[in-house]
Amino acid sequence: MRGPARGRWLVGALCIAAALAVPFVVRSDYLLNFLILVLLAAYLGQAWNVLGGYGGQSSFGHVVFFGTGAYASSILQTRFGVNPWLGLPAAAAAGALVGAAIGFLSFRFGLRGSYFALITLAFAEAFRIVANSVPFTGAGLGILIPLNQSAANFQFRDKPGFYYVALALVLGSLAIAWWLERARFGARLAAVRENEDAAAALGVDAFRCKLAAIALSGGMTAVGGTFYAQYFLYIDPSIAYGVGRSVEILLVAIVGGVGTVFGPLLGALALQAIGELTRAWLDAPPLSLVVYGALLMLIVGFLPNGLIGLTALGRRRRRADA
């Protein structure tokens, strides 16, 4: 490896080592909880990024995958006694399936841009209504996961366990993003994003690309839903399918920087930090959301590349890769 590349790998390795060491250094439950939420937000943002950033299809209803994953693993657990660790791949499959279905319908009929954003919103809403009305999902009461703390049961007795799972998820999502930037699929997806017709003329099956992207994004997001369910041990239709979470998810990606590897991580950190600060300062939860909304508007208006555009990482993006 040449100089700069080796330097980058070294920094990366150090960061990962530092991240692994955190629970040994940080003892405060409050701080660990904060970090876990940051990691979860970063993971979900990165999942959205696969479709929205790399794929160029902004979904406003991503919570539909989140909720599907949460319900899938929770129902399997509470009704069929399936171990929640097994629920993870089940959730991923469910999310990918829902993604493929929505993608198939939307892309088959050529929906893009605003129309696509709207239809994802509608699907999320439809799922929420069904979850709220159907006994299988516990209707309005939701699902309470019985307390049974053990690592084998995906219910850690204390925070570090969840922290490491969340960290693993984030590292996995970073790997996927990195892969997208280097592999043929990612290049084709980018081409479809930039100009679908030109891509088709060059032999790219745009429909299959987009379908794969939404299935991947959906599967990833669903896994996040399972994590949430295991961490908080309770889900209901508004938690699982509420529109607010869709917005949070896309906010992380957009504020951080769409279509980049580290954008969502930065975005999650910034948003959670702002959330904590406003909560401490102003003691009014809605105000942190006001700040989020204002931030979204300002980022779009003045920093379209997101926060990552401010960093060296962002500026270096355009340079040739070794």
Name the burial class of residue 298, with classes exposed (0-12), middle (13-18) and buried (19+) by CB atoms within 10 angstroms of its CB.
Answer: exposed
Among 243, 274, 303, 313, binds other proteins (CB under 8 A): 243
Among 88, 117, 180, 240, binds other proteins (CB under 8 A): 117
3-class DSSP state of 154: coil
CA–CA separation, 257 and 278 (whole Å)? 22
CA–CA separation, 310 and 256 (whole Å)? 10
The residue (of 233 and 274) whose beta carbon lies closer to other proteins is: 274
Least distance (Å) between residue 314 CB and other proteins = 14
Among 13, 273, 300, 310, binds other proteins (CB under 8 A): 300
Q: Is 280 one of the binding residues for other proteins (CB under 8 A)?
A: no
Among 98, 206, 211, 214, binds other proteins (CB under 8 A): 206
Query: Which residues partner with 107 through β-bridges?
Result: none
In the region spanning residues 146 to 185, those forming contacts with other proteins, defined by CB under 8 A, are 182-184
Q: Is 284 one of the binding residues for other proteins (CB under 8 A)?
A: yes
The residue (of 80 and 109) whose beta carbon lies closer to other proteins is: 109
In the region spanning residues 41 to 60, those forming contacts with other proteins, defined by CB under 8 A, are 58, 60
Let me know: does 100 contact 214? Beta carbons within 8 Å: yes
CA–CA separation, 42 and 36 (whole Å)? 10
Among 17, 25, 152, 201, binds other proteins (CB under 8 A): 201
Measured CA to CA in angstroms, residue 119 lies from 110, 163, 246, 254, 279 at distances of: 12, 34, 13, 20, 33
Name the burial class of residue 13, with classes exposed (0-12), middle (13-18) and buried (19+) by CB atoms within 10 angstroms of its CB.
Answer: exposed
- Positions touching other proteins (CB under 8 A) are 58, 60, 105-106, 109, 111, 113-115, 117-119, 121-123, 125-126, 129-130, 132-133, 140, 182-184, 187-188, 190-191, 193-195, 197-206, 243, 247, 254, 284, 286-287, 289-290, 292-298, 300-302, 304, 318-320
